[in-house]
Amino acid sequence: MTGKHDDNGPWAKSALRIESAVLSVEEIGRRMGQASTDAKAPNCWIVDLEPDDSLPLNDQLPAVERFIAAKIDVLEELAPACEIDLFLGWHPEAGQDGIVFQPSLIKLLGRIGAVVTLDTYTRSEDDDPPND
């Protein structure tokens, strides 16, 4: 995934990842109408769904839903031959943070058999520098 973020401050990333044992990344990109945004992942087509990683994750989910809804026909065609993953990574602003999935997004993800990967980054007390 592309984008830069400060691991010490809040950030969030949302991406759709598609892998296939029978379709190339290029073929998936052709069908999806765009190339992968992550050239470092040779066996996985990835598209960042929100380029602004300073936007809170809850605020990114409407763009995620719009993208999937716009591509639902293609994604349903790809689903039998692919593993589809909605990747959501974030570093919350505080020790506790949450996200809300709307039923409409959950239905779309179910139609394509997508898994959701929630990847949370937090700082632990062990990560803090000593107070000396």
Band (pLDDT 50/70/90 cuts) for residue 122 is confident
**Number of domains within the chain:** 1
Per the domain annotation, does 3 fall within a domain? Answer: no
Once rounded to an integer, what is the mean pLDDT over residues 5-17? 78
Report the chain's mean pLDDT, rounded to a whole number. Answer: 86
Domain containing residue 110: 11-122
Residue 130 forms part of a structural domain:
no
Please name the residue that has the structure tokens 């139609």. Answer: 111
- Per-residue model confidence (pLDDT) at position 2: 41
Residue 131 CB neighbours (<10 A): 4
- Between strands 115-120 and 44-48, the pairing is unpaired
What share of the chain in percent tops pLDDT 90? 61
Per-residue pLDDT, 51: 84
Q: Is 99 helix (H, G, I), strand (E, B) or coil?
A: coil
Residue 99 — very low, low, confident or very high, per pLDDT cuts 50/70/90? confident
| Digit-coded pLDDT (tens) for 38-92 | 877 778 999 999 888 889 899 999 999 999 999 999 999 999 999 999 999 988 7
Task: Note whether residue 98 is domain-resident.
Answer: yes
Please report the pLDDT score of residue 87 as a whole number.
96
Task: Give the pLDDT confidence score for residue 91 in this predicted structure.
Answer: 84
Query: What is the three-state SS of 28-93?
Result: HHHHHCCCCCCCCCCCEEEEECCCCCCCCHHHHHHHHHHHHHHCHHHHHHHHHHCEEEEEEEEECC
Q: How large is the average pLDDT for residues 11-37?
A: 95
Query: 16 in a domain, yes or no?
Result: yes
- Phi then psi for 15, rounded to 5 degrees? -145, 150
Q: What is the spatial distance between Cα 72 and Cα 76, in angstroms, rounded to a whole number?
A: 6
Segment 21-40 shows an average pLDDT of: 92
> Does residue 75 lie within any of the structural domains?
yes
Asked whether residue 2 is assigned to any structural domain, the reply reads: no
Chain centre to alpha carbon of residue 16: 5
Largest Cα span, the chain: 59
Does any domain span residue 44? Answer: yes
Per-residue pLDDT band for 30 (boundaries 50, 70, 90) equals very high
